[in-house]
Amino acid sequence: MEIVNRIKREIKKAIIGQERMIDALLIGLITEGHILLEGVPGVAKTTAVKTLGKVLNLEFKRIQFTPDLIPSDILGGEIYIIEKDEFRVKKGPIFTNLLLADEINRAPAKVQSALLEAMQEKQVTIGEDTFRLEEPFLVMATLNPIEEEGVYNLPEAQLDRFLMKIVVEYPDEKEEYQILKLVTAQEGISNETAEKPPQPQTVAGKEELQQLKDALRHIHVDKEVEEYMVQLTMATRNPEKYGIPPHYIRLGLSPRATINLYKVSKAVALLKGKDYVSPSDILIHIKDVFRHRFIVSFHAEAEGITTDDIVDMIVENVPMP
């Protein structure tokens, strides 16, 4: 679709490569699903979310998660106004369109729980009052996979509320060179040109985003394709039926996995400009939808088997229509 192409063109003025991450962020917005980004520092996770907000004219806020963070730092709270002898609600940074939860696993469980209501119900309770969050509302959370000190494991209930978990890889050599040229030109320290590269501009807004959501509803999914999605999920609950060692999986996928795979597959077809979902569309982001939703066993960990490896086994063993 032309709207999608315009958005991507503007984002790519600030982001080199990382096509998978850009597509995932767009899919999250279109399907109203939250995105978890895992990657080492410096691979443009924050820049991508901030640029997306600018291109779509959406309000963007960032919270740096730390061990001393408390729920009111995110949600807001009631403050006492001495002059008027009354309490007034001061809304926190969660009242926005795009919320970047940076290094979300650094905050304790109480803070993680405070996000659950907002992520699932799209509302926040402060004191006795409940406030609806403005649409669209999307949480883009980042994880740093290399540090173990001062981090907390995210609750399974919260992980399951993320539409996808994207592993953001290093750029390749060619992309690294392009990043170097872009950043040095933007900062005015390049010795090759005095002109700064064009900056991303706002090319769409909430109205265009709603058009994409409306178009998503008209994407056709054949019954055989829907059954294929169900079988992919069931393979994590009954692995022996599909020739997968049952001792590799400790906890299979919930129905939310199938629902989210359905949403993502339709969004993939939409981004391709198609009006139907093919089996190949399902497989593009299947690892991103599945990898954070089921738990591998200690046997699998001992053998170096990851969730991504098990998803590969599932795709290989479940017959494609």
The model's pTM is 0.88
Q: Which domain holds residue 59?
A: 2-186
Q: Are residues 134 and 227 in the same domain?
A: no
Count of structural domains within the chain: 2
pLDDT over 80 (residue 210): yes
Q: What angle do CA 217, 165, 26 make, to 5 degrees?
A: 40
pLDDT over 80 (residue 189): no
Q: Are residues 175 and 295 in the same domain?
A: no
Q: Are residues 106 and 225 in the same domain?
A: no
| Helix orientation angle between 206-217 and 19-31, rounded to the nearest 10 degrees | 80
Q: Which among 105-119, 180-194, 266-280 has the top mean pLDDT?
A: 266-280
* pLDDT at site 193: 56
Q: Can you give the CATH number for the domain in which 92 is found?
A: 3.40.50.300
- Is 67 part of any domain? yes
Q: Are residues 80 and 126 in the same domain?
A: yes
Q: Are residues 179 and 223 in the same domain?
A: no
pLDDT over 60 (residue 149): no
Q: Can you give the CATH number for the domain in which 226 is found?
A: 1.10.8.80
Q: Are residues 159 and 241 in the same domain?
A: no
Q: Are residues 110 and 255 in the same domain?
A: no
Query: Across residues 67-83, what is the average pLDDT?
Result: 85
Q: Are residues 26 and 154 in the same domain?
A: yes
* pLDDT at site 148: 57
Task: Tell me which residue of 163, 141, 136 sits closest to 264, measured CA to CA.
Answer: 163
More confident of the two residues 18 and 280 = 280
- Is 207 part of any domain? no
Q: Which residues contact 15 (CB under 8 A, 6 or more apart)?
A: 22, 44, 47, 48, 51
* pLDDT at site 214: 93
How far apart (Å, rounded) are the C-alpha atoms in residues 252 and 261? Answer: 15
pLDDT confidence band for 295 (50 / 70 / 90):
confident
More confident of the two residues 148 and 289 = 289
Q: Summarize pLDDT for 281-290 with one digit per residue, the tens.
A: 999 999 999 9
Q: Are residues 122 and 251 in the same domain?
A: no
- Is 201 part of any domain? no
Cross-strand pairs, 23: none
More confident of the two residues 319 and 144 = 319
Query: Across residues 47-65, what is the average pLDDT?
Result: 90
Task: Tell me which residue of 51, 58, 28, 308 sits closest to 206, measured CA to CA.
Answer: 58
- Is 132 part of any domain? yes
